[in-house]
A and B are shown apart, each in its own frame.
Chain A
Amino acid sequence: MEQDNDKMRRSPRSEEVKLNCKQVSVLLSQAQDQPLSALERLRLEAHLKLCAGCENFMKQLEFLRAAIRRHPLVRPRDGDGE
């Protein structure tokens, strides 16, 4: 459960410089919780430029966070009783 994550955080060897979609998804998730390093951001951007799936994934994560803030129970509108 832990190895992959550790691997990701270590500085990349040359053959690992390019991130795959799985690694990108891990980093995008972490970016929701803490700032990424400059290197991580560079590598992410390089991947996202070429990968529509991961770009969609990133937008979806951003949407999810914004959506939850507007969850009916988190932020009930006045008179919204049912």
Chain B
Amino acid sequence: MPVEDNGHTEAGGQSSLPEQLAAHRDYLYRFALAQLRDENHAEDVVQETLLAAVQKAASFSGRAQLRTWLTGILKHKIIDVFRQQTREALPAGPEHDEATLTDDEFDDLYFNADDRDHWRSFPQTWANPERSLEQKRFWEVFDACTKGMPAQTARVFILREFMGLETEEICKELGITTNNCWVLLYRARMNLRQCLEMRWFDGARQ
């Protein structure tokens, strides 16, 4: 019969903070890997997150779930990595190609070259898309599709859709123009929906 012992976490029987943190390590790693797509970077941000968690332990109110709190810290670490990568990628690197793909060149991939009123691959009706969400295989295809995006496009998309940042925040964090942000989000969505249509909803579905 537990009576009014809320908040008394120092009592015997409680696992120590490092033990509690360790229990979330695997989740944090998978979360980081999904966003960063690089094992070393994922390992680093998880390490930094756990370290920060120990240092900030006093500010953890206990009202939030520990995992939610840790994920919040982790997200900031991931944004730091994205910012760093964006800065490093500006002069050259894979993003260079992506950045030089003009609107016209990009549009040629999805619309008829001489008639932008015609989709090259007409978007289909996706049958029972809700049901796909229950399927593990769907998420494998989904993750493969996001991995297939050009790096900077994927970063902006992840910040927007997975981390829920507003576009202005993304521009500020990554130091890119608003317009660049819109364009990359547009490209990400075009890319992702086509990938899913080809690799999941068309044929492989259910």
A residues adjacent to B (C-beta < 8 A): 1-6, 20-23, 25-26, 29-30, 32-34, 53-54, 56-57, 59-61, 63-65, 67-68, 70-74, 76, 81
Contacts and interface: CB of A to CB of B under 8 A. Distances in A.
A71 B196 CA distance: 15
Given A70-B133, A72-B139, A61 B160 contact: no
Given A1-B180, A20-B115, A71-B142, 8 more contacts: A2-B177, A20-B117, A22-B111, A23-B116, A25-B190, A59-B126, A64-B193, A67-B132
A67 B139 CA distance: 10
Interface in B166-206: 166-167, 177, 179-180, 182-183, 185-186, 189-190, 192-193, 196-197
A64 B192 contact: yes
Contacts of A74: 162
Contacts of A54: 123
A5 B183 contact: yes
Interface stretch (B1-9, B26-34, B85-93): B26-34
Interface string B103-142: 1100100110001111100111110010011000001001
A53 B121 CA distance: 9
Contacts of B192: 64
22 contacts: A1-B179, A4-B104, A5-B179, A5-B183, A20-B115, A20-B117, A21-B118, A22-B110, A22-B116, A25-B186, A30-B186, A56-B124, A56-B126, A57-B123, A60-B123, A60-B196, A60-B197, A64-B189, A64-B192, A65-B161, A72-B139, A73-B31
Contact of B129 (A25, A29, A53, A63): A63
B189 A53 contact: no
Q: Which of B30, B123, B161 has the most CB of A within 10 A?
A: B123
